[in-house]
Amino acid sequence: MFDAKAFLKTVTSQPGVYRMYDAGGTVIYVGKAKDLKKRLSSYFRSNLASRKTEALVAQIQQIDVTVTHTETEALLLEHNYIKLYQPRYNVLLRDDKSYPFIFLSGDTHPRLAMHRGAKHAKGEYFGPFPNGYAVRETLALLQKIFPVRQCENSVYRNRSRPCLQYQIGRCLGPCVAGLVSEEEYAQQVEYVRLFLSGKDDQVLTQLIARMEKASQELAFEEAARIRDQIQAVRRVTERQFVSNSGDDLDVIGVAFDAGMACVHVLFIRQGKVLGSRSYFPKVPGGTELGEVVETFVGQFYLQGSQMRTLPGEILLDFNLSDKMLLADSLSELAGRRIYVQTKPRGDRARYLKLARTNAATALTTKLSQQSTVTQRLTALATVLKLPAVKRMECFDISHTMGSKRSHPVWYLMLTGRYALSIVVIISRVLRRAMITRR
C-alpha cells in the first residue's frame, strides 16, 4: 500500500518531473510541475477532479521524482519520458514519424532528393512536407520545370553517356562533359532554391529578363524554352492559396467527439500551404479536451524535435494554460523566438478555420469507419448465431511451401469504442493441412 503522507513529506518544492508506477512496476503516468510538492499533493485530496484521476491514484504503488533547474527543462524531460514509457494514463501521440524534406545537395552539380531523418548531409533542406507522396509529387513537378539532376551520386559519377531523363528534357546532363555549361546548371539550381523558398516572383522576374535578352539576341529557340518555363511556374503559383504575409506557420485545429480526438496540422511555409496531416492521439477515458491539446502540442514539437523544422509561429484554436512555457521551450530549442497564438485575425483566422474544418471532417470519417466495422461484426455474429465476435482466427493458405504457416489472430476489445488489433503467430503444425487445402 502506497503511503502518500510519508512520501509527500520528502518531496521538494522545486520544478521537476514525476513518474507514477503500478504494482507491476510499470510507469502508468508521467507529469511535470513547477512546484513538485504542490502538484503531487493535489492527487491525494479527498475530492479529486475526475474519474480518470481517481482510477490513476488507486493504482499508484510508487512515485519517482526528478528535479530540474527550470520549468522548461521539466517540460522537455516530461515529453522524453512519455515517449520512452508510453504510460497508459497519458495522452499519447501515435504514428509520429519524422517528416520528409526536399534535399538540395552541396555537390559541384547539386541533386534533388527526398530526405527523412537527421540532417547530416551537406546541403539545403526544404520543408517539412506532410508525407512522402507530397515530396515525390513536388520533385516530379520540379523535374519538368527546372531540369536539375535527381540521380544518385553513384550513378552520376559513372555515366559516360546521358540517360533517358536528358533525352526527354528533364535533366541537363551534367554527368557528361560538354552537354551543359557550369553557369547554366548553376542558374537552374538557383531557380530551384528560390522556388522551394517560396520566392516565385523572383524566379519569374529573372526568367522574364533572360527571355527578353535571348529574344533581343535573336536566340529564339532559347527564348521559347524560357517562355515555357515561365508559363509552367505561373500555372503552379496560380493554383496555390497564398498569404500576403509570406510567413512560416503551423496551424493546429482540434475536434473532439465520442471519446476520440482529431488534431489537424496545416503546414504553411513562405505564405503557401505545403500540406496537412491529421492525428488521432490515444486518449484515456475521462480526459479533458484541454489536456489533449496541451499534451499533443508538447509531444508534437518536443519529441523528435531534431527531425522537425520549427516555424516562426504556431496558431491554435484552444488556449493553453502553459502557452508561454511552451513558447519559451520551443524558442530555446530553435535558437530564435517562436510565437504561440490563439486568437489570430485576417489570413491567419482563415487558416485556423480551415484546420478546424479538416479536423472535424477527419474525425467524422474515422468515427464512421469504426461504426461500419462494428456493424459488420454484428452482422457476422448474427450469421454465426453468436452473442458477439470476440476473437477471430484467420489461416493464410496462399503459400505453396515451407514448414511454418502464418496464423493471424484478431482480438476485439471494448475500450469505450470498438478497436481491432492484430497479433501474428507462427503456427508450428499444419493445422489440418491448412484447413483442408484447396
Confidence (pLDDT) at 17: 92
Single out the residue of 185, 123, 111, 187 nearest to residue 154, CA to CA: 111
Task: State yes or no: pLDDT of 274 exceeds 90.
Answer: no
413 contacts: CB under 8 Å, gap ≥ 6: 419, 421
CA dist., res. 229 & res. 236, Å (int):
11
The CATH class of 4-85 is: alpha beta
Confidence (pLDDT) at 422: 44
CA dist., res. 252 & res. 233, Å (int):
30
Write the CA distances from 317 to 253, 301, 341, integer angstroms. Answer: 6, 17, 9
Confidence (pLDDT) at 358: 86
17-72: per-residue pLDDT in tens? Answer: 999 999 889 999 999 988 999 999 999 887 776 788 888 888 999 998 988 888 87
CA dist., res. 151 & res. 157, Å (int):
10
Comparing 97-101, 175-179, 398-402, 410-414, which segment has the lowest mean pLDDT?
A: 410-414
The reported pTM is 0.56
Residue pair 315/249 in contact (Cβ under 8 Å)? The answer is yes
120-168: per-residue pLDDT in tens? Answer: 788 888 877 767 777 888 888 888 888 889 898 888 888 888 888 888 8
Percent of the chain with pLDDT over 70: 83
- The pLDDT confidence band at residue 277, using thresholds 50, 70 and 90, is confident
Confidence (pLDDT) at 21: 92
Confidence (pLDDT) at 438: 46
Residue pair 50/286 in contact (Cβ under 8 Å)? The answer is yes
DSSP assignment of 361-425: HHHHHHHHHHHHHHHHHHHHHHHTT-S---EEE-------S-S-EEEEEEEEEESSSEEEEEEEE
The CATH class of 249-366 is: alpha beta
CA dist., res. 107 & res. 306, Å (int):
24
CA dist., res. 102 & res. 112, Å (int):
7
Q: Domain extents for the chain?
A: 4-85, 101-198, 249-366, 390-436
In this structure, is the dihedral angle defined by the CA atoms of residues 431, 434, 437 and 438, taken in order, positive or negative?
A: positive
304 or 421: which leads in pLDDT? 304
| Residue 216 backbone phi and psi in degrees, to 5 | -65, -30
89-115: per-residue pLDDT in tens? Answer: 888 876 555 678 889 998 889 999 988
Task: State yes or no: pLDDT of 267 exceeds 90.
Answer: no
